[in-house]
Amino acid sequence: MSAAKLEITELTAGYGQTRILEGISLSVPAAGRTAVLGRNGVGKSTLFATIAGQTRRYGGQILMDGQDLTAMDGSARARAGLGFVPQNRAIFKSLTVEENLFAGLKERPRGDIEEAYAMFPRLKERRRNMGGQLSGGEQQMLTTARTILGRPRLLLLDEPLEGLAPVICDELMAAFTELASTGRMTVLLVEQRLKAAFDFADHVVILERGKVVWTGTPGDLQEDPETVNRLLGVGH
């Protein structure tokens, strides 16, 4: 199982009658680490949800390793190797932690959930608890672990650090970097903590009002405080 290449062309999408994405094109090479940044409400989550097949798409194409995803429903995309960790975590509240993890296993044997426990020992302690009873941060760990268990070739992470203690954030970002740099996954990340995003990514995309307005490397961006300020609104 190896990382997949993502190519998006002229993607427009939204909810019901409301258009949010206004023609997005971007491409991520296999094993790439791309951070998608932008202010509140610019459509970062909508972009991920659209790639995962959960919004209404009006036009445009999404290719994963050359395979057109748009004709598939969310479940088929996942089976084709897409992994999605949504911003709202989407824990199965009435399933136990362990069952939540089973649900992410795809066709792998049940014993493999030990991988998740190795990543987050905290989850092992709570494994008989209902998902809905977990603390905010534990839920965040669970949703990430659950998706990674399915061994996606392309992983979409929507604010995976939200609510996590700083020490865990470090470990987690290190793990993501490891997954990408060993060529197992391509990772797209949305993150509010710019430092973490810059440390992780080899490429940055900035959205504004549903459009890509800037692309480049983290290095470029850090050297351009004016752009950072204008597009990401840091440091007023």
Ligand X SMILES: Nc1ncnc2c1ncn2[C@@H]1O[C@H](COP(=O)(O)OP(=O)(O)OP(=O)(O)O)[C@@H](O)[C@H]1O
Residue 118 binds other proteins, judged by CB under 8 A:
no
To the nearest whole angstrom, how small is the minimum distance from the Cβ of residue 113 to ligand X? 18
Residue 122 binds other proteins, judged by CB under 8 A:
yes
Contact set for other proteins, span 124-143 (CB under 8 A): 126, 130, 132-138, 140-141
Q: What angle do CA 153, 154, 157 make, to 5 degrees?
A: 135
Distance between CA atoms of 152 and 195, rounded to whole angstroms? 26
Residue 90 binds other proteins, judged by CB under 8 A:
yes
Residue 40 binds other proteins, judged by CB under 8 A:
yes
**In angstroms, what CA-CA distances link 14 with 2, 6, 28, 53, 147?**
31, 20, 22, 11, 24
Distance between CA atoms of 153 and 170, rounded to whole angstroms? 23
To the nearest whole angstrom, how small is the minimum distance from the Cβ of residue 46 to Mg ion? 8
8 Å CB contact between 201 and 216: no
Interface residues with ligand X (CB under 6 A)?
15, 18, 20, 38, 40-46, 87, 126, 129, 133-138, 163
Distance between CA atoms of 51 and 17, rounded to whole angstroms? 19
Tokens representing residue 176 in the block: 């993501």
Contact set for Mg ion, span 73-92 (CB under 5 A): 87
Residue 117 binds other proteins, judged by CB under 8 A:
no
Nearest to 192 by CA among 216, 217, 163, 214: 163
Chain residues binding other proteins by CB under 8 A are 15, 17-18, 39-41, 45, 52-54, 73-75, 77-79, 82-84, 86-87, 90-95, 99-100, 102-104, 106, 122, 126, 130, 132-138, 140-141, 146-147, 150, 159, 162-171, 192-194, 232-234, 236
